[in-house]
Chain A
Amino acid sequence: MSSQLPRWVDLGLIPVINLVLAFLVAGLVVVFIGEDPIQAVRILISGSLGSSYGIGFTLYYATTFVFTGLSVAIAFHAGLFNIGGEGQAALGGIGATLVCLAFNWPHWLIALPFAILGACLFGGAWAFIPGYLQAKRGSHVVITTIMFNFIGSALVVYLLVNVLKVPGSMAPETRNFAEGTFLPFVHEMLAVVGITVSKTPMNFASILALAAAFLTWMLIWRTRLGYEMRAFGFSEPAAVYGGIDPVRITIIAMLLSGAMAGMMALNVVMGFQHRLVLDYVGGAGFVGIAVSLMGRSHPVGVLLASVLFGILYQGGAELAFEMPNISREMIVVIQALVILFTGALENLVRAPMARLFARRRVEAA
C-alpha cells in the first residue's frame, strides 16, 4: 500500500494533513464551546514555549511521553498493539520505588542503573504475561493488556495502601526517597555552567529519553533482532517461514515494550516527585498510543510527537487557567482526535492520496 506513495508523502505530508484535520476539529470544539480558537492557540503556545519555565515543563511532560510512545512503537513494529502502557508504567513505578527505598543510596549515579533495572524489570514483567499468553496460548494481547491495566491498577492501590504507605499516614503514598536518589534537575545542571533558568521538574531523565530513542532506532533498524521484529510485524507467516521463532519475538517485543513504559518512572518518580504517589502515571501510558501513531512508530517521529503533546499538556494547563470554559479535558479530546485521524481514519487521507499519485505516475509515463 504505502509503496505506491513517495516517501515524503507517506512520512511527511499525510501525517501533517492528518494532524491538521485533528486540530481543525479540535478548533470546532472550541468554537462550539464559545471561545476563540485562535486566541486559545496563542495562549497554548505562549504558555508552553513562551518562557524557560514553560519550556521546562513542556519538555518534562515530553520526556514521559517519549518513554510511553517508544513503548507502543516497539510493540507496533512486531505487529503487536500494546494498550497496557498505563499498567506497565504503574508497575515500573513500583520497581523504581523499591530500588530507591531499599538503601540509603550515596549518590544518584550509583542508584540510577539499579533504578533503571527495577523499572524495566517490573514494567517488563507486566507486559511479559500478556506477551507469553499471546505467544503460547493465543489470547489476544490487546484484550489481555487492557485487563492487565485494571489488574495492575488494583495491585498498585493495594501495595500503596497496605504495604508501602507511611505508617500512620492517611495519604496512599510512600515516604520520601533519600536525597542520594534524586536525579539532578536541568536547572541545577545548567546552573553549574552558569546558565540560569526557571526551576522546573525537567531532569536528567530527559537525557535518558534521548538515549532511549537512539537505542530504539539502533534496535529496530540496525540489529538482527530488530529486523526479525519488523519482519514478524510485516507478515507473520513469511517471518515464520524465514525461520523466525514467533514465540520468542512476541515475548521479547512485549518485554522491551513494557520495560520502556516502566522507564517513565525515572522521569516522574525518581526525577521529580521523589516518592511514589497514587496513579502517578495519570494517563501517560495512553498518550503513548497517540504519540506512537503520530510519530509513525519512528523514534524521531516519537520525539517530535512527544514535544507536541508536551506543549498540549503544559499549554493546556495555562489555557484552563486563562479560559475557564476550556478545561484540561480538552487535551484528552485532542488526543482522541489525533488517534482517530492518524490511526483509525488514516485511509480518509491516504486513499485519495494514493489515487492522486497513481494518476500522476500514469500521466508521467
Chain B
Amino acid sequence: MDLDIAIQLMGSSLRLATPLLLACLAGLFSERAGIFDIGLEGKMLAAAFTAGAFAAVSGSAWIGLLAGIAASMVLALLHGLASITLKGNQLISGVAINFLASGLTALIGQNWFHQGGQTPQLSGSGRFLGVQWPLTETIGQIPVIGPVYQNLISGHNILVYLALLTVPATWWVLFRTRFGLRLRAVGENPGAVDTAGVSVVRQRYAAVLICGLLCGVAGAYLSTGMSAGFVREMTAGKGFIALAALIFAKWRPWPALWACLLFGFLEAVGIRYQGISIGSLQVPVQFMQALPYILTVVILAGFGGKAIPPRAGGRPYVKER
C-alpha cells in the first residue's frame, strides 16, 4: 500500500471518526454521571436534521450548528426529566427518544421541504468546509511529511479539530476540576455526594445537558460538515457505534479517541474496499460493517479486560427520607 492511499484512508478514518468521537464523549459525560444513554443516536439524528434545515434556510452553517445543538439539548432535557426528575427507566427513555427523533425528522422534513425527508442541498457558507492550514503549499513539497501535513493534518473542517480538542478538554474537566470530580461521584456513589451537600439532581442535569450539546455538534457535523444536507436516517447506527466505542474505551476519554479512530478506520476500509481478501479467504463487506459491534460484544463479555460501567449507572437517585 503506498503512502497516498494510506494518507487518504487515514484522513477518511478521521472524518468518519469525528461524529463517533463527539457522540462517544457525549455519552461519556452522561454515563459517568450515572445516566445511561442509549438515545445518542436519536439526539444526533435530531441535531443533524435541525442543523441541515436551519443551515439551508439561513445560509449559515453556524446558525445550523446552534439549532442542531438546541434540538439535541431539548431531547437531552426530556431524557433528564424522565430519568432524573421522574426516576423513570433510563433505557426505555433512550429507546423512546430514538424513535421520536426518527419519526419527527422524517415527518417534519417531508412536510417542510417536500424532498422525501431530505433538506435542500447546502453550499458555500451553509456548510463547514475544509480549513487549509498555513504554508500547505510550501510544506507539501517535502517528501513524506509534506503529504501528511497537506492531506491528513490540514484540510478538514473546523468541527473535526473541535472534536479532537474535546478529548483533552473532557479529560481535564472530568479529572482535574471540582465539577468533574462531583460528576464522576454522582455516577459512582450519589449518596456520598448528597451527604456532602452537593445537589445530585443539578449535577446529573448538567451532565445530561453536556451530553446533549456534544450530540448536537456530532449531528450538525453529519449534515453540514461531512455531507451537504440531511438525508433520512443519516445517523445509520452511528450513535450505537459511539455507544460501543464508549464501552470499548471503558468510559475513559483518551481510549475513547482510539476506539473511535479504530471504528472510523474500519468504516473507511469498508467503504473503500468492498470486501477484503486475507490470503485465500474473502472477508465479506458485511463482516467489516458488523466488526465494531462484534468487538464490543467481545469486550463486554470480559475478553480483553473487563468493562465495568459506573456503579450507580442506570439507577435513579432516591434521597433517603
Binding site for B on A (CB under 8 A): 29, 33-34, 81, 83, 129, 133, 137-140, 142-144, 146-148, 150-151, 154-155, 157-158, 161-162, 286, 289, 293, 325-327, 329-337, 339-340, 343-348, 351
Chain B residues, CB < 8 A from A293 = 92
A to B CB contacts below 8 Å, 17 in the list: A33-B107, A33-B111, A140-B309, A142-B91, A143-B300, A146-B240, A150-B237, A154-B286, A161-B286, A329-B107, A330-B103, A332-B103, A336-B99, A336-B102, A339-B95, A340-B78, A344-B89
Q: How far is the CB of B47 from chain A (nearest CB, A)?
A: 17
Q: Are the C-beta atoms of B96 and A144 separated by less than 8 Å?
A: no
Total number of B residues with any Cβ neighbor in A under 8 Å: 47
Query: Which DSSP category, helix, strand, loop or mixed, fits chain B's interface?
Result: helix
Given A143-B247, A158-B287, A345-B81: A151 touches B293 (CB 8 Å cut-off): yes
Binding site for A on B (CB under 8 A): 38, 78, 81-83, 86-93, 95-100, 102-104, 106-108, 110-111, 117, 237, 240, 243-244, 247, 284, 286-287, 289-290, 293-294, 296-297, 300-302, 307, 309
Q: Are the C-beta atoms of B107 and A139 separated by less than 8 Å?
A: no
Chain A residues, CB < 8 A from B107 = 29, 33, 326-327, 329-330, 333
Q: A143-B247, A146-B243 are in contact. List 17 more A-B contacts (CB 8 A).
A: A29-B107, A33-B107, A33-B111, A81-B89, A81-B91, A146-B240, A162-B284, A289-B92, A327-B106, A330-B107, A332-B99, A334-B103, A335-B103, A337-B100, A340-B97, A346-B86, A348-B86
The contact of A155 among B81, B290, B296, by CB within 8 Å, is: B290
Output the residue of A144, A154, A334, A344 with the most chain B CB within 10 A.
A344
Q: Are the C-beta atoms of A157 and B243 separated by less than 8 Å?
A: no
Closest A-chain residue to B39, C-beta based? A344
Chain A residues, CB < 8 A from B100 = 333, 336-337, 340
A363 CA to B9 CA, complexed, in Å: 73
Q: Are the C-beta atoms of B111 and A138 separated by less than 8 Å?
A: no
Q: Are the C-beta atoms of B300 and A139 separated by less than 8 Å?
A: yes
Chain B residues, CB < 8 A from A146 = 38, 240, 243
Q: Are the C-beta atoms of B102 and A332 separated by less than 8 Å?
A: yes
The contact of B88 among A150, A157, A345, by CB within 8 Å, is: A345
A329 CA to B103 CA, complexed, in Å: 5
A221 CA to B263 CA, complexed, in Å: 45
Chain B residues, CB < 8 A from A331 = 103
